[in-house]
Amino acid sequence: MKITTKTKVIGIFGDPIEHSLSPPMQNAAIKSLGLDMIYIPWHVKPQHLEMALNGVRAMGIRGINLTIPHKERALNYIDSVSDEVGIIGATNTIVNDRGKLVGYNTDGKGLLLALKKEYTFMPKGKKIVIIGAGGAARGIAAAMAAEGATTVIIANRTLGKAESLASEFSLKIRSSTFEGIDLSSEKLSHAFKNAHLLVNASSAGMVGENDLDLPLEQLTKETIVVDIVYKPLITSLLRDAEGLGLRTQGGLDMLACQGEIAFELFTGQSPPVNAMLEALQGEFK
């Protein structure tokens, strides 16, 4: 493509950033629609996040996605947030609205869209178990509760963080019951019984990270197991779940769906879904 002074810039901040597949996905969407725009990845360390976001304003960058570890910290440096971000306490998509940075969160909405597409899954009346208590977990937990989940259990290595998140959301979202537990076998075994959805929203299982050791045998055949990690494409969690005959969904589906939502926020146009998904799948051939 030809880069000019009129070319709009969007991108992603992360530390690390090498794992991100957002650039090929979003640039495929841009190319498909013939937009004068480019999507760029930037390696931004936590101590430089404020300066980087000030640079978004100064340089007129149209929008930024955020990945690990910036989703919560970024709230300190932007001007306003959407209603869901006010509840979630984390943002993964920032739009530059004429110099004002507005935070959105597409994580939970992206997962909901992916589950509806593949399994017509609806959270209403369901029991949800989420592994992790970071930015992605916050977005997913809030989205599930907003759609009517009866119970949302947050399981995390650090019990205090899980309990803190469950307590916070219990005050903000009264329609669902929240519980925070650790990753002990006894706690997980109890939580997994009658669960309709299990989501790994932590980095466990990602290339270079330790795998999860979960009592999947406690789940029923109706349970859907989701791993938001997409490198590797088939994690050990998904492999083990499939071996037990459980329904599964990998992180690529959620990534594609949250990318669709972010693209529309950045451009105001409907995303070319097929072009985005094909670009993602192409990264694994």
pLDDT in tens, 52-90: 999 999 999 999 999 989 999 999 999 999 999 999 998
Q: Is 53 part of any domain? A: yes
Residues 153, 91, single domain; the answer is: no
Q: Is 3 part of any domain? A: no
In the chain, which ranges are E strands?
A: 8-14, 37-43, 63-66, 80-81, 93-97, 100-104, 127-131, 151-155, 177-181, 197-200, 224-227, 247-249
Two tokens at 74? Answer: 């970024």
- Going residue by residue through the chain, which has 285 residues, state the pLDDT in tens, using 9 for 90 and above: 789 999 999 999 999 999 899 999 999 999 999 999 999 999 999 999 999 999 999 999 999 999 989 999 999 999 999 999 999 998 999 999 999 999 999 989 999 999 999 999 999 999 999 999 988 899 999 999 999 999 999 999 999 999 999 999 999 999 999 999 999 989 999 999 999 999 999 987 666 667 888 999 999 999 999 999 988 889 999 999 999 999 999 999 999 999 999 999 999 999 999 999 999 999 987
Listed residue (111, 273, 109, 85) closest to 197, CA to CA: 111
Residues 96, 204, single domain; the answer is: no
Integer Cα distance of 18 and 79 in angstroms: 28
Per-residue confidence (pLDDT) for residue 136, from 0 to 100:
87
Residues 122, 234, single domain; the answer is: yes
Sequence-separated (6 or more) residues with CB below 8 Å from residue 82: 102, 103, 104, 105
Residues 125, 68, single domain; the answer is: no
Q: Is 121 part of any domain? A: yes
Residue 22: strand, helix, or coil: helix
Two tokens at 184? Answer: 């002990």
Indicate which residues carry an active-site annotation.
71
Q: Is 2 part of any domain? A: no
Domain range for 137 is 108-249
Per-residue confidence (pLDDT) for residue 205, from 0 to 100:
64
Residues 76, 174, single domain; the answer is: no
Q: Is 37 part of any domain? A: yes
Contact 279, 255 (CB under 8 A): no
Residues 112, 244, single domain; the answer is: yes
Cα torsion 28, 29, 32, 37 to 10°: value is -90
Q: How many residues does the chain have?
A: 285
Residues 130, 233, single domain; the answer is: yes
Residue 281: strand, helix, or coil: helix
Contact 200, 212 (CB under 8 A): yes
Q: Does an H or E element contain 266, and which?
A: helix 251-267
CATH of the domain at 164: 3.40.50.720
Amino acid, single-letter form, for residue 123: P
Q: What is the mean pLDDT of the chain?
A: 94
Number of domains forming the structure of the chain: 2
Listed residue (280, 209, 275) closest to 251, CA to CA: 280
Report in angstroms the alpha-carbon separations of 198 from 124, 201, 238, 248, 274: 15, 9, 11, 9, 27
Integer Cα distance of 170 and 173 in angstroms: 5
Q: Does an H or E element contain 239, and which?
A: helix 236-243
Residues 43, 155, single domain; the answer is: no
Residues 136, 244, single domain; the answer is: yes
Residues 215, 113, single domain; the answer is: yes
Two tokens at 236? Answer: 């050990």
Q: Are strands 177-181 and 197-200 parallel, antiparallel or unpaired?
A: unpaired
CATH of the domain at 65: 3.40.50.10860
Residues 132, 81, single domain; the answer is: no
Residues 136, 230, single domain; the answer is: yes
